[in-house]
Amino acid sequence: AAAGGGSDTDQLQTAVMELLNTQNSWPVELRERLTRALETQREAAAACAALAAAAARGGAEDLSAAPARPLKTEVVPSLTSRGATRTSGLHEVLLNFGAATGLPSLVQRAESYRSRPADVVVGAGPAIPGDCFAFHGNASIALRLPSGKAVVRHVVIEQPPRLALSSRLGSAPRRFSV
C-alpha cells in the first residue's frame, strides 16, 4: 500500500486510490463513488485547514472563504422526528405520574429519561455531556437556514470524544444524508 510519511488518513486515501487505479474488475459505479468521496473529503479538509490558519493569523483575507459569523439556524418541528426515549411505555407513564407529584427527586428522575429537544443541536450555549437530540431508527432533523446570500459549503456531523458517553461505536453518528 502506501509508503512514506503522512497521517494515517493520507496513507489510507493513497492506498484506496492505488486500488481504484489498478482494480479494473471493480464496478464502475463503486470506483466513481469512492473517488468522489475521497475528493470531497480532501476538499473539506483543505477548506477547514485554510480557515484554521486564517483564524490563527487573526482573520481571513478572503471573506468568501471564511464567514464572518456562524449561520443562525432553526429547527423545523414539522419535518423533525420525535426524540427517542430510553424506557418502555409503562415505565414512562410511571415516571410521569411520579413527576406529577412534584417531589424533586421524582421530577428529576423523569426528566433524566426524556430526550432533549432538537433545538439543542443548534444552540449557541456550551455543549455538556448528554445534551444531545437522541433519535432511533430511520429519523430526521430538519434545519432552516436564513434567507439571503449565504452559501453552505460544508456540513459537519460529529460526536466529539469529550461528549461520548459510551465507547460503543453504535452510538456514533453514521448513515446520514444532506
- Give mean pLDDT, residues 142-166: 65
- Give mean pLDDT, residues 71-96: 77
CA-to-CA distance for 32 and 45, rounded, in angstroms?
20
Number of Cβ atoms within 10 Å of the Cβ of 176: 9
Q: Which of 116, 121, 130, 128 is nearest to 165 (CA)?
A: 130
Residue 50 has a pLDDT of: 73
Q: Which of 127, 132, 150 is nearest to 72 (CA)?
A: 150
pLDDT tens-digit profile of 7-19? 777 777 777 777 7
- Give mean pLDDT, residues 98-106: 91
CA-to-CA distance for 163 and 131, rounded, in angstroms?
9
Residue 130 has a pLDDT of: 60
pLDDT band (50, 70, 90) for residue 22: confident
Residue 103 has a pLDDT of: 92
Pick the residue with more confidence: 44 or 5? Answer: 44
8 Å CB contact between 129 and 171: no
Counting residues of the chain whose pLDDT is more than 70, the rounded percentage is 48
pLDDT at 60 over 50: no
pLDDT band (50, 70, 90) for residue 1: very low
